[in-house]
Amino acid sequence: MRLLRLLQIVTHLARHRLDRLLPKEIKLSFWVRFVLLTFHFFPKPKDSPEVSFRLALERLGPIFIKFGQILSTRRDLFTTEIINELEKLQDQVAPFSSKIARQIIEREVSYPIETIFTNFNNVPLASASIAQIHEAKLRSGEDVVVKVVRPGIDETIKRDIRLMLFLARCLELYWREGKRLHAFDVVKDYENTITNELNLQLEAANTATLRKNWLGSNDLYVPEIYWEYCTLRVMVIERIYGIRSNNIALLNQKEVDLKKLAHLGVNIFFTQVFEHNFFHADMHPGNVFIDISDPKDPSYIALDCAIIGSLSTEDKDYLAQNLLAFFHQDYAEVARLHVASGWVPAKTNLKEFESIIRSVCEPVFQKPIKDISFGKLLVNLFRTARQFEMEVQPQLVLLQKTLLNIEGMGRQIYPDLDLWETAAPFMERWMRSRYGAQSLLKSFRENASRWIHQLPQLPDLALGALEEINLLGKKSDEQTLILAEIKAHLHRESKKARYTKIGTITLVAAIFISFLPLSGYATVTEVLVGTSVLGSFAVYWLYSQS
């Protein structure tokens, strides 16, 4: 089956003669040239190469349509003609029958259409790779849209994912670069992502969370979910009205502040990643609309929250430090962070790695800021770092793709977008807030009760560890005696710990009181007296039990 599907893919590419898109000056291997030669057995289509590219992706199915959607935001990489065609993949995929859509809705919600809606438009408002959308009006009066998953899409996706996993495994087995690229892990992550898109209840939950994160903000609006009509295959959501983010002509006609809009998009992205740790990871123009009620103060509307990303605390820290080091052209710090994070092996020669990073980045930073593409910079760095065995980080692939989308969309709105102008100050503020006094106090406050609770358990944990170590080898008489002494000592310490806990709680209270002047709850004199009394009490208890 895999071989049959692979043959089908190559046949589709050949039938549409996509070899016409390849630049003539590009150097290809013998085997690639041989395969492309077979394309000439098919007649040249009447459609342009750009239209053929879009049609080929459509006919290959949702996996390839999604790939085309990602490419459609990269105007800095492709011609305008290609981008214009690929943009049609965002919500102009051929729809399925509205009769089937109605049947799916009625089966999923267990009610006839007429008992839910006073009006249901049989003509889809939009049709994408995974689902299509119909306008409707609830009996309670709200304008909504109904999202319905395409019938039979599950098997199509599973088939193509199996093929991609097979090719990824072959890549890792038969190409020396394959393991470093973690091709199999990347495909598995993508499998999880696209499988989640089939679950509209999960998308509804993501949408509700994103809406809660931005409630009260004038920067990003997320529509309301109507939970009583949401299932695995159907979702009913508030109907929004706005302008597509790629409708630049209309935005200009309405005299929208495009510079402000572009930088606002970058700020929203970084806020989602670093402050909320919950970011919309499918930000192509089909999912992003603009509210121009006030053209001088525009805002965004987010749709289609099926793909959501988040990062571990460690990944966020390393990513933030790397970005700041790039912004400040501190290549030594970039090299050190790559090693510290495990993205390159610990044996890496930092001086050599720093020189390589400088050779890639320095020419880029000599250009006008508007001509610097962070996406291209990442690609060049990745290629150059191969000699240092730099590995692909599957957990960051979704974030990297989203950042590329954001940059592409931002430059589409405002070609002179200075990504660094917004990102650098944001990252600096975030780093200060993360490692400042208030953040440390918050962390201490959140963990203090857990630490205090665990204090009495430490002697028992240490004793258990010693006993396990002892069981690994033969016990000599001397070892047994030492272990007995340690056990008796730890038993005494465990008893003392009950009393020490009281003293520790008092000490923690003293520390908290020391921060009261910062919040205005007490004068410095009152705090000094209170801290002294409580601190002395704590020291007495700790000393008396030692």
pLDDT at 139 over 80: yes
Query: What's the average model confidence in pLDDT over 225-236?
Result: 95
> What is the C-alpha to C-alpha distance for residues 177 and 392, in angstroms, rounded to an integer?
11
- Who wins on pLDDT, 137 or 186? 137
Where in the chain are the domains? 2-89, 154-193, 245-435, 437-544
Active site residue 418: no
- Taking the C-alpha atoms of residue 265 and residue 288, their distance in angstroms, rounded to an integer, is 10
Does the predicted model carry a pTM greater than 0.85?
no
Cβ atoms of 40 and 34 within 8 Å: the answer is no
Averaged confidence pLDDT in the chain:
77
Highest mean pLDDT among 21-35, 180-194, 374-388, 422-436: 422-436
Q: Helix, strand, or coil here: 302?
A: strand
Q: Quote the pLDDT of residue 167.
A: 75
Residues 458-503 have pLDDT tens digits of 666 666 666 655 655 544 555 555 556 655 655 555 555 555 555 5
The distance from CA 544 to its chain's CA centroid, rounded to whole angstroms, is 53
Token pair for residue 64? 């390839």
pLDDT at 449 over 80: no
- In the prediction, which pLDDT does 521 show? 46
Secondary structure (DSSP) of 519-536 = HTSS-HHHHHHHHHHHHH
Q: 453 vs 450, 466, 497, 543, CA distance in Å?
A: 5, 22, 11, 20
Helical packing angle, 62-71 and 183-197, nearest 10°? 100
Query: Residue 519's pLDDT is what?
Result: 46
Provide mean pLDDT across the span 7-18.
83
Nearest alpha-carbon partner for 416 in 368, 362, 361, 376: 368
pLDDT for the residue 296:
92
- The burial of 331, by beta-carbon neighbours within 10 Å (0-12 exposed, 13-18 middle, 19 or more buried), is given as buried
Q: Which of 282, 330, 418, 477 is catalytic?
A: 282
Over residues 170-187, mean pLDDT: 67
Considering only 26-40, 381-395, 505-519, which range has the smallest mean pLDDT?
A: 505-519
Least confident of 194-208, 413-427, 430-444: 430-444
Helices 350-365 and 374-384 sit at what angle, rounded to 10 degrees? 150
Q: Helices (H) and strands (E) in the chain — how many of each?
A: 24, 11
Q: Answer whether residue 311 shows pLDDT above 50.
A: yes
Confidence band for 337, pLDDT divided at 50, 70 and 90: confident
